[in-house]
Amino acid sequence: MTDRSSWLSFLLLVVAWMMPSALMAGGPTLPARSLESASITTAAVTDAPQYAPGLPVEVFVIHDWPEKPAGTSVALLFDRKPPVFGYSAALEERGMSPYLHNDLGLFWSGLLLAAEKGRHVISLVPTPGSHQNCRVRVTIQAQPILVWDGEPTISGEISLDAGPNALEVWMVCGNPNQYRRVDFQLMMRGPSDRMVTSIPPTRLVHAP
């Protein structure tokens, strides 16, 4: 019995000695992968470009209906209404009151964030009942896409890269006493979309 008990005691000592070594060998593998993934994710977020919603809009007093921004620049404002384009930013700015009896041209410039690469359909739609004595030109990536001049709806196509694409909108309207009724909506259909829908405001941005 003494020999057998001594042998069992020896085996237990060997097993107890080997278990910490096995744990030490296999333990750190999973935490190491988790830390690596976390560092990659943090780097991606840190390196991503930062944009702010809304578009700057420059206001011009015009004497005719130029096809491009022209006239006397009287204000540089900020507009959070896009994808709805109208005169609300100018009408709500107190400093604009001396100019509101003039014909005004509005020039928005910023970025359109495309969710994916490929062909996109861009549409400009006046809302029912809006004042339509206007001309509107939409340019994306320095390419004229839309020129609205009284049609119910106009559409055009352009190939965009995923991410930021330069956007410019130039609007001129007559009859300043009707400016509160000017209301156009910019819409889009991406490569994976089934229908044309309003562009989310979070995708019409500027670099702060």
Tell me, what's the pLDDT at 181?
Answer: 95
* Alpha-carbon span 98 to 82, nearest angstrom: 25
Which DSSP category does 203 fall into? G
pLDDT at position 22 over 90: no
| Structural domains of the chain, count | 2
pLDDT at position 90 over 70: yes
Q: Are residues 74 and 36 in the same domain?
A: no
Name the amino acid, one letter, at 148.
W
Q: Are residues 127 and 183 in the same domain?
A: yes
- Where is average pLDDT lowest: 29-38, 45-54, 63-72, 96-105? 29-38
pTM for the model stands at 0.76
Which candidate, 62, 93, 65, places its Cα nearest to that of 77?
Answer: 93
Q: For residue 168, give the CATH number of its domain.
A: 2.60.120.1560
Q: Are residues 164 and 112 in the same domain?
A: yes
Q: Contact at 8 Å (CB) between 133 and 178?
A: yes
Q: Contact at 8 Å (CB) between 182 and 126?
A: no
User: Which tokens hold the place of 1?
Assistant: 């019995």
Residues 72-82, mean pLDDT to the nearest whole number:
97
pLDDT at position 18 over 50: no
Q: Are residues 85 and 144 in the same domain?
A: yes
Q: What is the CA radius of gyration of the chain?
A: 31
